[in-house]
Every structure is written in structure tokens, then in C-alpha cells.
């Protein structure tokens, strides 16, 4: 036991002496939070659009005003004819061109039917879709308002309620995702490197001939990272509460316990990587390319899982991050209890046992060599 | 000139012999190209809806029918208990609830006004926003239809008008998101080879002590740097070609613009990031440090480059920072050239900025490189 404590102390010293790694350790979560909180949004805001108004009457002016005051769009250009649209898109100046047909207002007031053409630059399909939908919604809203001014016989009024996230803030999506990403990154990447480093530098042999048991070496290696990751979890929760105004709705203790489970899972992934590689460069590339992008893309963090083809959904289902994000959302945002996440918890626990089993087995094989 | 040739020969031999890294470098990004491109899809097609129809009138049935016939919505359940419906949302079995209160038709006819309630799971605000927009379109269409039903066509025409919104999607009428993602993954590919590998390569010589041997040879530092950077410059361009070919064959991505222009832009872009890589390798003394430094900045630059999300939505200060983000330039240009066929006159500003940037960064890195350790 004394040896073990000494070994853990050594590990802590290693980490605290390497200032650059420390910056990555503690700087990364904060940076990621701010990055996702302020910069990365999938919503439409200040999208640049151009207007081709072939009618130039009061109605079109009202709609244009409504578009520009909505906060979603910035009208950067007024075009004179249709030939300019192509050039406008090719230079990447605008996302969408709103084309009012000639005599728009006249048709709207007299014939009760007018057309507006929304031409979107769909080389970015997602945002084209969003921009068109937002524009259509604003025009729809305009029509409803105009109609309610004059009495329409039967009106269906829609009452919308946004559950869990009334203001449709982006933080609700990215806090769980970022948390999962940071934990995977720090636990898996750093542990794998720290074990492989001992191999590469040849000091692993020394550890192996010491009175420490293999399991003690592994536990001693990962123990500091469990603690540091836990500090990161708390940092993220504090940031999300005080900077982004997103408090934890459910039980904090349950949340921390689940995070601990996920940390252990990510650590076992790290150990697995380190036992199957023999130099830092390979371990890093494997951890970064193999874990980073799937964590971001194949977990429902940015892109909804149900939109993917079935075989990718299947991959998502064996990705532990997917389950952890569900757990986080249920506890943090919906305020649900353990009963709502027991299935996900069981999956994570099962995966942890499996990964730990595989990596201890691999570790032993290496010992005998 | 001869010296450079020999250094190049040595570098290529080294790259070829590194059996462990080669597959990771080349195969992993290509596999990701094939897999991840399918993942990035924001288009909502099957929004799961739970319907609570407390009215059960012909009018309410018409409305629920509209939702179940829409290609955007999939009806996941019908219930008469609001709590049950909310539980469905809690468990993620449904994304939204449509609640038609009892007496809906009655109120609509008597008072000319009736309410329906829509509840969305808004944790993903974007999805909730799109769902709400789709639902709004369906309900206003329904409203027109029901007026026609009760009052006949004449009344709708007497009432105030409607605006027919016709969307059209240029350059990508099928709204195929892969077309957008393939160029983005190609940017990552080029960046990883050009920046990370070049930086690690030099640092490795330092870490292993080989750099001393090179330093005492008559090789001039400019020769050494060219020898180090050129192989990865060539490799990155070759990989871009391979990636483009795969993208064309498998995903059938459009290549509207000039490929010469694309490769020209890529060649200039590589100058910038290789300069960055060289700077990192000047300061780092171990591979781990170099890796972390590169990784730290790469994540920020990639995320800010507009790879998944539009750069327009970013706050002003972030857009200003983006002027210094080389990945953002290349990300934008590759999409413009491939998908929209932008020509040199459309992009010459960005091109010149990149060129100036590249020359500046490379010069700085070369000047700061010291042969004396």
C-alpha cells in the first residue's frame, strides 16, 4: 500500500510539472465551453440575404422591414435583375435571395394571392434549409397578422410551448455534448499517452520489476486523471450555471455519480489504447482520430442520431458517449431521476466491465513477453 | 540543388518505411470520409409526434390526418391523457405533442377562434425551431382548407390574401448534405498531412537527436526546410486528388469549378499551414508538446472554420478572429469552387490574402529556425 501511495504521488508530480499538459487539461474544458457557447451555433442569426424586389410597393416594403428587423437576417444587397443572383452566390456574398414577383402588392391585395420566390444557396444544405424555413415562417407570420386585421371567419390559433428550453438556447445542446467530449478526450487521450510514454522511454520495465502489482500500476496511472476529470466536470457545471445560466434540474449527486461511471469507462478505453500501441504518436493519432470525431459526430451531440442511416445508428448505439449524453440530458435538463436512466447506466456499466476485462488481459500478455 | 534532391530522397524513404503511421495517416481519414459524411445531417424528416385529440370531431380528425400524411412527421402515438404524452417526450419516444382540446370544432364554429396546443422538446433548439416552422405551415394550410370547407371558395377569396412561398435550392436541389461535407473532410485531410505530420517529423529528429547530425553537415537551413516541407506538400496534394476521386465515385459530388484553380488554392493554403507547423516545431522539443500545441489550435480553427455550422451566425468578434484562420479560407474556397463553380475573379481576394499570409508565415518560420541548438 505504501508503494502504491508513493507511486500515485509520483504520477501527480509528473502531471503538475508538465505545465503545457496542465494548460491542455484545464484550459481545454473552459475553451471548449466558450467556443461552443458563443461561437458554434446551428441556429440562423445574421444570415446575409439579398432582395430582388420587382414590385417595390408597400406590401413588399413591409415584408422586407419585417425580415430585416427579425434579427435572423442582414440584408446586404438589393438586386436589380435576376442575372445578378448567380454572381452573388458565386462570390459567396449571400445565403439567400428573396424574389418578389412584379406587382406583388397589387396581387396580394386584389387577387388575394401573391408569390415570393426564395432562392437559397444550397451548397450548404443544412443552413439553406434553415434560412428558407425561417424566411417562410416570417412571411407566414406577416400574412397571419394582416389577416387578423380584417376579420377572417375561422381562425385556428396555435399555442406553442417549448419544453425544457423556452428560449431555444443552444447551450442546452452543447453542455452535455461538451462534457462528454472533454471527459473522453482527457481520460482516454491523456491516460493512453501517459502509459505509452513509460513504454517508449523504457521506464515501464522499471515499474514492472518493482513490487507494484500490474493492477496497482494501472490504478496508480489513472487515479490522478479520475481526480482531474472530476475537477473538470465541476468546472463545466459551474460555467454552465453561472456563465450560461443553465442550472442542474435533477439530483447533482446522481449526476456526479454517472459522470464518475463515464470517467472510468473512458479511462478503460485509454488503457485499452495504451496496451495495444507502442509509441506516443500512434496512441495519440488513434485516440484523436478514433475517438474525437465519433464523439462529436456519432453521438447525437451536433447531429440527431435518428437522421442517420440505420448502419450508422447502429454504430452510434455502441458508442458510449451516445448513452452518456442521454443520461446528462435527462438528469440535467429534464430533471428526471434514476428510474429514467437505469437502462443507459446499465449499458455504460456493462461496457466498462467489458473494456476493463479486455485491457487487463492484454496487459498481462505484454507482461509475459 | 543536388542537396535538396538527396534530402528529399531520404524523407520519402523514411515516410515509406514507417509502417505503423502510414495506414493511420492515409486510411483513417479516408474511412472517416466514407463514414462521417453520412452522419452530418440536420435535415428533419421524421419528427416523432404524439397526438392528444380530445375533440374527436371531423375538424380535429382532418388536422391529425394532415400531420400523419406529412413527410416531415411520423405519428408515434395517440392518447387522451396529456401526462402520458408528456412522458413520451420525456423518454424521447416523441419530439413533440399536438394537443387538440375538447370542444375545438364547437368553439371554432361558434366563436370563430379556437386553440390548438403544440409542445416541443426544445433541448435541441434548432430541431424544435424547424419542427415548429413545419407544424405552423401545416396548420395554416389546414386553416385555409377548413374555411373553404365551411364557407366555400368564395369566402377565402373575399378574405385577405395569402402569399405563396416557393423555395428553390440552387447548386444542390436534392439537398444532399454529403455534397457539403465531402469538401470539408478533404480540408481536414490536407490539413492533417500538411501541418501535423510536417511538424511532428521535424520534432522527431530533435527528440531522437538526429538533428545534431544534420546541423553539422553543410546542408543550408533553407535546403533542410525545403527538404522537410516539400514531401508533405506533395503528399497532401496527392491525397487531395485521391479524396476528390473517391468523393466523385462514391458520393458523386459535383465539380463545377476548375480543378486547376482548386489545386492552386490548396497549394497556397498548404504554404500557410506548413509555416504554422514549422513554427510549432521550432518551439516544441518533444512530439507530445508539438502534438498538443497543434491539436489545441487545430480544434479551435476547425470548429470556427464553418465545417458544420455557418460562420454567419457567429458573433462579430469571432468573425474578425476568423480573418486569421487559414482553415476558414480554404473551407470556404473549396466549397465555392467545387459546388458553385466560382472562378478566379470571384475568389481572387481570398486567394491573395492566403498567398500573402503563406509567404509571411513561412518567412517568419524560416527566419526563426536556428541551425544552432
For residues A68-86, average pLDDT = 87
pLDDT of A364 > 60? The answer is no
User: Distance between alpha carbon A98 and the CA centroid of its chain, in Å?
Assistant: 32
Cα separation, B144 vs B254, in Å, equals: 40
Tell how many helices (H) and how many strands (E) occur in chain B.
16, 5
Domain boundaries, chain A: 14-40+168-368, 47-149
pLDDT of A92 > 70? The answer is yes
Cα separation, B317 vs B327, in Å, equals: 17
The DSSP letter of residue B265 is H
For residues B277-281, average pLDDT = 86
For residues A180-188, average pLDDT = 81
Cα separation, B242 vs B255, in Å, equals: 14
Tell how many helices (H) and how many strands (E) occur in chain A.
17, 5
Nearest to A281 among B287, B293, B296 (CB): B287
Predicted confidence at residue B21, as pLDDT, reads 66
Distance from CA of B218 to the nearest CA of A (A): 30
Buried b (16+ CB within 10 A) or exposed e, A93-123: ebbbbbbbbeebbebbeeeeebebbbbbbbb
Distance from CA of B291 to the nearest CA of A (A): 8
The model's pLDDT over B52-70, given as tens digits with 9 standing for 90+, comes to 999 888 888 989 998 888 8
Sheet arrangement for strand A155-163: A155-163, B113-121, B96-100, B47-53, B73-79
Predicted confidence at residue A149, as pLDDT, reads 61
Task: Identify all chain A residues contacting B150, using CB atoms and an 8 Å cutoff.
Answer: 153-154
Give the number of C-alpha atoms closer than 13 A to the C-alpha of residue B285, restricted to the C-beta side.
4
Cα separation, A270 vs B34, in Å, equals: 25
Cβ–Cβ < 8 Å for A359, A275: yes
Please check whether residues B97 and B182 belong to one and the same domain: no
Backbone angles phi, psi at B50, to 5 degrees: -115, 130
Nearest to A303 among B42, B119, B155 (CB): B42
Cβ–Cβ < 8 Å for B270, B194: yes
Q: Is B324 part of a structural domain of the chain?
A: yes
The CATH code of the domain that includes B141 is 3.40.1710.10
Nearest to B177 among A113, A126, A162 (CB): A126
Please check whether residues B24 and B85 belong to one and the same domain: no
Closest CA to A237 of A229, A352, B124, A187: A229
Range scoring the smallest mean pLDDT among A263-272, B211-220, B247-256, B336-345:
B211-220
Please check whether residues B233 and B341 belong to one and the same domain: yes
Please check whether residues B23 and B56 belong to one and the same domain: no
Q: Is B169 part of a structural domain of the chain?
A: no
Range scoring the smallest mean pLDDT among A70-74, A225-229, A343-347, B158-162:
B158-162
Q: Is B80 part of a structural domain of the chain?
A: yes
CA separation (Å) from B3 to A249, B28, B235? Answer: 67, 34, 20
Cβ–Cβ of A95/B155 closer than 8 Å?
no
Cβ–Cβ of A117/B44 closer than 8 Å?
no
ipTM score of complex: 0.74
Q: Residues B3, B9, B11, CA angle at the centre, nearest 5°?
A: 105
Nearest to B309 among A42, A89, A142 (CB): A42
In a mutagenesis test of the A interface, which of B124, B152, B181, B206 is the best target, namely the one with the most A β-carbons within 10 Å? Answer: B124
Cα separation, B215 vs A316, in Å, equals: 50
For residues A26-36, average pLDDT = 80
Nearest to A112 among B119, B157, B167 (CB): B157
State the residue for C-alpha cell 553537415: B217
Task: Identify all chain A residues contacting B139, using CB atoms and an 8 Å cutoff.
Answer: 156, 158
Q: Is B117 part of a structural domain of the chain?
A: yes
Cβ–Cβ of B36/A297 closer than 8 Å?
yes
pLDDT of B288 > 80? The answer is no
pLDDT of B307 > 70? The answer is yes
For residues B282-311, average pLDDT = 79
Predicted confidence at residue A324, as pLDDT, reads 92
Cβ–Cβ of B122/A284 closer than 8 Å?
no
Cβ–Cβ < 8 Å for A92, B332: yes
Cβ–Cβ of A303/B39 closer than 8 Å?
yes
Cβ–Cβ of A112/B308 closer than 8 Å?
no
Cβ–Cβ < 8 Å for B353, B324: no
The model's pLDDT over A314-358, given as tens digits with 9 standing for 90+, comes to 888 888 899 999 899 888 888 888 888 888 899 999 999 998 888
Please check whether residues B204 and B243 belong to one and the same domain: yes
Closest CA to B61 of B84, B113, B133, B69: B69
Task: Grade residue A369 by pLDDT with cuts at 50, 70 and 90.
Answer: very low
Nearest to B142 among A44, A151, A156 (CB): A156
Domain residues for the domain of B52 are: 47-158
Closest CA to B227 of B253, B205, B250: B205
The model's pLDDT over B325-355, given as tens digits with 9 standing for 90+, comes to 999 999 989 988 888 888 888 888 899 999 9
Please check whether residues B30 and B64 belong to one and the same domain: no
For residues B27-52, average pLDDT = 78
pLDDT of A76 > 50? The answer is yes
Please check whether residues B35 and B179 belong to one and the same domain: yes
| A142 CB-near residues (< 8 Å, 6+ apart) | A62, A63, A66, B163
Task: Grade residue A367 by pLDDT with cuts at 50, 70 and 90.
Answer: very low
Nearest to B310 among A38, A127, A150 (CB): A127
Q: Is B222 part of a structural domain of the chain?
A: yes
pLDDT of B41 > 80? The answer is no
Q: Is B356 part of a structural domain of the chain?
A: yes
For residues B119-128, average pLDDT = 82
Please check whether residues B138 and B7 belong to one and the same domain: no
Strand pairing partners for B52?
A: B79, B99
Cα separation, A190 vs A284, in Å, equals: 9
Cβ–Cβ of A128/B175 closer than 8 Å?
yes
Predicted confidence at residue B231, as pLDDT, reads 86
Q: Residues B70, A129, A103, CA angle at the centre, nearest 5°?
A: 90
Nearest to B170 among A87, A89, A285 (CB): A89
For residue B149, the chain A residue with the least C-alpha distance is A154
Q: Is B164 part of a structural domain of the chain?
A: no
Task: Grade residue B266 by pLDDT with cuts at 50, 70 and 90.
Answer: very high
Cα separation, B212 vs B50, in Å, equals: 71
Cβ–Cβ of A168/B21 closer than 8 Å?
no
Please check whether residues B105 and B196 belong to one and the same domain: no
Task: Identify all chain A residues contacting B38, using CB atoms and an 8 Å cutoff.
Answer: 308-309, 312
Cβ–Cβ of B165/A280 closer than 8 Å?
no
Q: Among B158, B193, B217, which residue terminates a domain? A: B158
| A117 CB-near residues (< 8 Å, 6+ apart) | A98, A99, A100, A101, B166, B168
Cα separation, A116 vs B345, in Å, equals: 31
- Beta carbon pairs, A and B, within 8 Å: 355
Buried b (16+ CB within 10 A) or exposed e, B149-181: eeeeeeebeebbbbbebebebbbbeebbbbbbb
Q: What is the CATH number of domain A47-149?
A: 3.40.1710.10
Distance from CA of B165 to the nearest CA of A (A): 5
Distance from CA of B181 to the nearest CA of A (A): 9
Task: Identify all chain A residues contacting B120, using CB atoms and an 8 Å cutoff.
Answer: 160-163
Please check whether residues B335 and B191 belong to one and the same domain: yes
Distance from CA of A173 to the nearest CA of B (A): 5
Q: How many domains is chain B partitioned into structurally?
A: 2
Predicted confidence at residue B153, as pLDDT, reads 60
Q: Residues A20, A218, A347, CA angle at the centre, nearest 5°?
A: 100
Cβ–Cβ < 8 Å for B317, B231: no
Distance from CA of A260 to the nearest CA of B (A): 23
Predicted confidence at residue B372, as pLDDT, reads 61
Amino acid at each position: 500500500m505504501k508503494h502504491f501511495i508513493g507511486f500515485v504521488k509520483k504520477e501527480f508530480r509528473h502531471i503538475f510539472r508538465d505545465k503545457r499538459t496542465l494548460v491542455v487539461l484545464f484550459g481545454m474544458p473552459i475553451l471548449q465551453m466558450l467556443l461552443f457557447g458563443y461561437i458554434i451555433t446551428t441556429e440562423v442569426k445574421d444570415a446575409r440575404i439579398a432582395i430582388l424586389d420587382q414590385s417595390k410597393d408597400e406590401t413588399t416594403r413591409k415584408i422586407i422591414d419585417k425580415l430585416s428587423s427579425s434579427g435572423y437576417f442582414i440584408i446586404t444587397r438589393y438586386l436589380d435583375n435576376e442575372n445578378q443572383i448567380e454572381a452573388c452566390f458565386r462570390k459567396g456574398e449571400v445565403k439567400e435571395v428573396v424574389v418578389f414577383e412584379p406587382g406583388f402588392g397589387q396581387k396580394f391585395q386584389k387577387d388575394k394571392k401573391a408569390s415570393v420566390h426564395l432562392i437559397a444557396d444550397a451548397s450548404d444544405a443544412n443552413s439553406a434549409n434553415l434560412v428558407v424555413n425561417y424566411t417562410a415562417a416570417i412571411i407566414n407570420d406577416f400574412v397571419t397578422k394582416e389577416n387578423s386585421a380584417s376579420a377572417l371567419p375561422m381562425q385556428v390559433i396555435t399555442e406553442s410551448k417549448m419544453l425544457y428550453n423556452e428560449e431555444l438556447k443552444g447551450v442546452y445542446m452543447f453542455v452535455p455534448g461538451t462534457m462528454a467530449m472533454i471527459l473522453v478526450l482527457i481520460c482516454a487521450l491523456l491516460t493512453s499517452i501517459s502509459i505509452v510514454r513509460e513504454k517508449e522511454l523504457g521506464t515501464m520495465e522499471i515499474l514492472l520489476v518493482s513490487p507494484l502489482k500490474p493492477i496497482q500500476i494501472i490504478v496508480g496511472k489513472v487515479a490522478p486523471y479520475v481526480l482531474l476529470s472530476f475537477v473538470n466536470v465541476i468546472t463545466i457545471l459551474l460555467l454552465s450555471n453561472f456563465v450560461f445560466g443553465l442550472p442542474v434540474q435533477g439530483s447533482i449527486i446522481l449526476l456526479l455519480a454517472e459522470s464518475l461511471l463515464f470517467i472510468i469507462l473512458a479511462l478503460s478505453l485509454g488503457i485499452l489504447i495504451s496496451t495495444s500501441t507502442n509509441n506516443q504518436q500512434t496512441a495519440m493519432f488513434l485516440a484523436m482520430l478514433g475517438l474525437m470525431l465519433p464523439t462529436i459526430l456519432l453521438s447525437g451531440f451536433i447531429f440527431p442520431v435518428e437522421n442517420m442511416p440505420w448502419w450508422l445508428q447502429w454504430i452510434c448505439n455502441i458508442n458510449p458517449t451516445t448513452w452518456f449524453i442521454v443520461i446528462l440530458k435527462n438528469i440535467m435538463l429534464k430533471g428526471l431521476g434514476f428510474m429514467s436512466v437505469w437502462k443507459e447506466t446499465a449499458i455504460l456499466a456493462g461496457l466498462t466491465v467489458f473494456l476493463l476485462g479486455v485491457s487487463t488481459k492484454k496487459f498481462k500478455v505484454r507482461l509475459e513477453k | 540543388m543536388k542537396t535538396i534532391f538527396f534530402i528529399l530522397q531520404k524523407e520519402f524513404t523514411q515516410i515509406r518505411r514507417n509502417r505503423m503511421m502510414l495506414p493511420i495517416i492515409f486510411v483513417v481519414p479516408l474511412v472517416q470520409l466514407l463514414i462521417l459524411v453520412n452522419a452530418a445531417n440536420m435535415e428533419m424528416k421524421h419528427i416523432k409526434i404524439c397526438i392528444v385529440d380530445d375533440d374527436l370531431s371531423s375538424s380535429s380528425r382532418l388536422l391529425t390526418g394532415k400531420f400523419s400524411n406529412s413527410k416531415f412527421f411520423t405519428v408515434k402515438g395517440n392518447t387522451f391523457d396529456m401526462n402520458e404524452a408528456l412522458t413520451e417526450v420525456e423518454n424521447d419516444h416523441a419530439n413533440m405533442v399536438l394537443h387538440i382540446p375538447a370542444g375545438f370544432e364547437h368553439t371554432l364554429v361558434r366563436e370563430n377562434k379556437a386553440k390548438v396546443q403544440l409542445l416541443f422538446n426544445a433541448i435541441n433548439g434548432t430541431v424544435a425551431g424547424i419542427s415548429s416552422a413545419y407544424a405552423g405551415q401545416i396548420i395554416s394550410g389546414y386553416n385555409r382548407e377548413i374555411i373553404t370547407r365551411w364557407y366555400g371558395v368564395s369566402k377565402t377569396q373575399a378574405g385577405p390574401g395569402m402569399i405563396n412561398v416557393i423555395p428553390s435550392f440552387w447548386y444542390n436541389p436534392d439537398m444532399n448534405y454529403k455534397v457539403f461535407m465531402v469538401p470539408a473532410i478533404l480540408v481536414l485531410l490536407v490539413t492533417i498531412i500538411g501541418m501535423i505530420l510536417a511538424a511532428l517529423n521535424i520534432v522527431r529528429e530533435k527528440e531522437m537527436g538526429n538533428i545534431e547530425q544534420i546541423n553539422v553537415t553543410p546542408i543550408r537551413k533553407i535546403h533542410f526546410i525545403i527538404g522537410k516541407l516539400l514531401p508533405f506538400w506533395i503528399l497532401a496534394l496527392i491525397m487531395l486528388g485521391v479524396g476528390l476521386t473517391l468523393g466523385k465515385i462514391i458520393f458523386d459530388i459535383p465539380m463545377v469549378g476548375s480543378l486547376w484553380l482548386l489545386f492552386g488554392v490548396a497549394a497556397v493554403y498548404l504554404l500557410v499551414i506548413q509555416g504554422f507547423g514549422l513554427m510549432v516545431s521550432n518551439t516544441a522539443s518533444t512530439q507530445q508538446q508539438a502534438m498538443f500545441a497543434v491539436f489545441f489550435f487545430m480544434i479551435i480553427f476547425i470548429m470556427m472554420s464553418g465545417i458544420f455550422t455557418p460562420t454567419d451566425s457567429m458573433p462579430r468578434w469571432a468573425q474578425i478572429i476568423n480573418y486569421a484562420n487559414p482553415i476558414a479560407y480554404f473551407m470556404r474556397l473549396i466549397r465555392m469552387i467545387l459546388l458553385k463553380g466560382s472562378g478566379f475573379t470571384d475568389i481572387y481576394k481570398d486567394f491573395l490574402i492566403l498567398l500573402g499570409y503563406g509567404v509571411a508565415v513561412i518567412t517568419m518560420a524560416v527566419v526563426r529556425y536556428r541551425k544552432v541548438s
